[in-house]
Amino acid sequence: MLKPATDLKFESIKNWRSPTKHAVINQCVLKDLASMYPIHSIFALTICLLSLMFLSTLRAEQSDASTWLKPLLTPCFGKDEKAATKGREKIETTYVTPELKKLLARDRADAKRTGEIGRLDFDWVIAAQDAPKAWKLGQASIEKGKMRVPVQTQWDGGEWNTHVFVLEKGTDGWIIVDVLYSDGSSLIELLKQPL
């Protein structure tokens, strides 16, 4: 025979390890709480469930962004210069925002026209002139509504340097919006400078 729910609150604390009573006791306690605070209980439960759904979606998106970015970057970090150039060109033509694509094309055209280096004296994808000895992706995060995926690079066993790819979800998947470098500059900022 079930006891009144108010008595079960104490019993659930005393007998919480009892497998046979546990389900009935907690069910009665929940019913008692729901009857005392019906709107608040439903609201709190809804908020908890939505938070869990949001966190699992966020983790999936972070993993998805890193999974998407790694195969794009891999050829750029290799020792084969032809493959690195081809990989970078593929990124520039397909996986950047229209604004970034325009700025990169302008910089290449200006460099060709003047015979000079251009605004960038390094490979913007690897954040260096030469491929590093080692590289890895860090933990993706969301900041200001955009996904940020850190890329860590290392030369000859020295310190790890980090630059961050800023991504957003486009209609066809992820797209590169900007790259933030360890010196505090960004790719867009550098490309917008006068020649």
Residues 77 and 32 in one domain: no
pTM summary value: 0.69
- Tens-digit pLDDT profile for residues 127-161: 999 999 999 999 999 898 899 999 999 988 889 99
Closest CA relative to residue 190, chosen from 126, 122, 142: 122
Residue 57 or residue 189, greater confidence? 189
Q: Is the pLDDT of residue 53 over 60?
A: no
Q: Which secondary structure element, helix H or strand E, spans residue 154, and what is its range?
A: strand 146-154
Residues 136 and 187 in one domain: yes
pLDDT band at 31 (very low <50, low <70, confident <90, very high): low
Query: Residue 53's CB: how many other CB atoms inside 10 A?
Result: 10
76 belongs to a structural domain: yes
- Tens-digit pLDDT profile for residues 156-180: 888 999 999 999 988 888 999 999 9
Tokens of 181: 């470098």
What pLDDT score does 158 carry? 87
The C-alpha atoms of residue 194 and residue 186 are separated, in whole angstroms, by 15
Q: Is the pLDDT of residue 14 over 80?
A: no
Domain coverage including residue 82: 65-191
Residues 94 and 181 in one domain: yes
Residues 106 and 169 in one domain: yes
pLDDT band at 183 (very low <50, low <70, confident <90, very high): very high
Q: Quote the number of domains for the chain.
A: 2
The C-alpha atoms of residue 11 and residue 141 are separated, in whole angstroms, by 44
